[in-house]
Chains A and B, each alone.
Chain A
Amino acid sequence: MSLIRAATATVDVRRQQCPYPLLMIKKALDGLREGDVLEAQTDHLPTARETTPRFCKDMGYGLDVLEEAGLWRLIITKGQEAPKPVSLTLDGVEKSYASDRGLVTAVEQIDLQILEGEFVCIVGPSGCGKSTLLNLIAGLERPDRGAVKIKGHEVTGPGSDRVVIFQEGALFPWLTVRQNVEFGLKIKGVERRVRRDLAMDYLKMVHLTRFADALVHELSGGMKQRVASARGLAMDPDILLMDEPFAALDAQTRDLLHVELQEIWTATSKTILFITHNVREAVCLANRVLVMTYRPGRIKETFIIGHHRPRHLEDPGLIETSALILKTLKGEVDKAVKAELGDA
């Protein structure tokens, strides 16, 4: 327990809910110098017990929590400031599979860095190794060559610092919506009350509070994806990996979820890696779009998307960018089609 010094600044985050209290605390800390002390007042249990302690531990900041009658005073001592850190690094990653026609190289020479808070989309024809890449990052598979690193630590297996949101949602039907969102937190050993509050906050973020006690099969496809997003976000991972999450949804639902995901990203500044074969989706969502080649999968080109948010698919600027990316992608799609027909 460190000695409590007089606060340099105070911030009142009462009557706020996830993720806003922590964001306000972060903002307040940005304005402070090293060694300064910030006092934050909150009445939000997860902020006091879960999110702020985790953040301070990550940043190496000192933290004392004083509790009095449902109100917490968080005394944060700011340590050395880290520059905008790299979240994910891929270093010459290569992965092959044995198949009937011998060894197939799924991905090779993948070098990639994603900074914290970036939203990166990877597009490519089917069979270009997008999903392999995601599995490698998730730790569900190991690369044959090269390394995957999260915050400088090599990935050796799956972990809750890299949550995957799958196309099918992968919700557990025997749990209610809220229990699904709590699942990862429970595995982590987060205390029951904290877990419950966090789950409700994230369900509110995806506008599903009313369905907290519903069963999974009572939800529509779009709602399931939103629950899956809430479940991933509640884990507060370093990076959120999304594997064509909206591919199976109808167009209206997808548009709605695009808007929602942008809002969530703006609010939480989560690092997101999003895989899709839909160029317009990529352009609508990402800061950076990577186009992959067909077999072996490499990164062919990178596009920086600087349009203002919230973006809409009808925006002429976006359509122009989409056309550009589509042109780059076209050659690869042709190759993929040819390969498929040739195999048949």
Chain B
Amino acid sequence: MRDTAIRLVFFALVVLIWEIVVRLEFWPDYLFPGPMQVFEAIRLGVEDHTFLTAIAISLRRFAIGFTLALLIGIAFGLVIGSVRLARETVGVLLIGFQSLPNIAWLPMGLLWFGLNDRAILFVIVMGVINSVAMATADGIRNVPPLYRRAARTMGARGFTLYLTVVLPAALPAIMTGIKLGWTFGWHALIAGEMLFVSLGLGHLLVMGRELSDMAQVMAVMLVIVAIGLVMERLVFSPIERRVSRRWGLERA
């Protein structure tokens, strides 16, 4: 309760300082609009449905890409974490790919898939796979050998052993990877959407620039930040906390 109050006061202060800086008129207001203009842009965007549509389109795209990336990333991680040879080969390759910024995959995606959704999905998947796969692999390698031994003496083997012991034991690490992957994926989505008439949030940003409508640009940025905060606060952090509490990794 107290934290919420402090947070509200803080955000109010930011808006206030923003307003004061605008009132001092260092820059013309078409280059640096005040909070009122930006909120007005948000209101307009919501009213004529462009924002809501864009949010829906972006989130849908993200959900597809992210799900795909999780499936592939966890599968990769399972193999890398379990097979030594895979760790020395594919694992090293993934570490190398970590130095590539997400958008560096865009030209490849555009050439392969053209200016369409699939190119964006490609960039999201490539951006997310890495962190999820690495975290999964680490999680699996760090599963206490004792768990496997205990499960084996109770008759678990092969696929069952993975499903009932190895995966659950690695879940806290996998969750951390997913949370990290979500950030990368979200970045990749917005960057990809800026390239063509994708109708998503990234596209709205570019449209704002083309119309020289700074208020809209800032409004869309605010929306992107807000969605990020909501996802982090209401989805990923609670799940992560629940998992680590249940697993006894964090004193409740």
CB-based contact A158/B165 at 8 Å: no
Interface size class of A (residues with CB under 8 A): 20 to 34
Q: Are the C-beta atoms of A170 and B149 separated by less than 8 Å?
A: yes
On chain B, the residues within 8 Å of A216 by CB distance are: 248
Contacts known (A170-B147, A172-B147, A174-B168); A183 close to B154, Cβ less than 8 A: yes
Nearest Cβ in chain A — how far from B161, in angstroms?
9
Q: Residue B174 at the A interface, CB < 8 A? A: no
Query: Within 8 Å of chain B (Cβ to Cβ): is A163?
Result: yes
Complex contact B155–A184 (CB within 8 A):
yes
With A187-B164, A216-B248 as contacts: A174 and B154 at CB distance below 8 Å? no
Which residues of B are found within 8 Å of A158, using beta-carbon distances?
149, 152-153, 155, 157
- Do B153 and A160 touch across chains, with their CB atoms under 8 A apart? yes
Distance of A183 Cα from B149 Cα, bound (Å): 14
A139 CB contacts on chain B under 8 angstroms = 153
Mark each residue of chain A from 151 to 166: 1 if its CB lies under 8 Å from any CB of chain B, else 0. 0000000111011101
Shortest CB-to-CB span from B153 to chain A, Å, is 4
Q: Is A335 interfacial (CB-CB < 8 Å)?
A: no
Contact with A along B133-158 (1 / 0, CB 8 A): 00000000000001101111111110
In the bound assembly, the distance between CA atoms of A216 and B147 in angstroms comes to 14
With CB as the reference atom, state the residue of chain A lying closest to B160: A187
Partner of A160, one of B146, B154, B171: B154
Residues of A within 8 A of B171 (CB): 174
* Shortest Cβ gap from A162 to chain B (Å): 7
Q: How far is the CA of A140 from the CA of B248 in the complex (A)?
A: 28
Query: Are B247 and A174 in contact, with the CB atoms below 8 A?
Result: yes
Contact A166 B247 (CB under 8 A): no
Q: In angstroms, how far is the closest chain B Cβ from the Cβ of A297?
A: 20
Cβ-defined contact, A164 with B150, below 8 A: yes
Contacts of B169 on A, CB cut-off 8 Å? 172, 174
> Residues of A contacting B149 with CB < 8 Å?
140, 158, 164, 166, 170
B209 contacts partner chain A, Cβ-Cβ < 8 Å? no
Q: How far is the CA of A183 from the CA of B147 in the complex (A)?
A: 12
> Closest CB of chain A to B96's CB: distance in Å?
33
Name 7 interchain pairs, CB-CB below 8 A, sorted by A.
A138-B153, A140-B152, A159-B153, A170-B150, A172-B169, A174-B169, A235-B155
- The chain B residues found within 8 Å of chain A, CB to CB, are 146-147, 149-157, 160, 164-165, 168-169, 171, 246-248
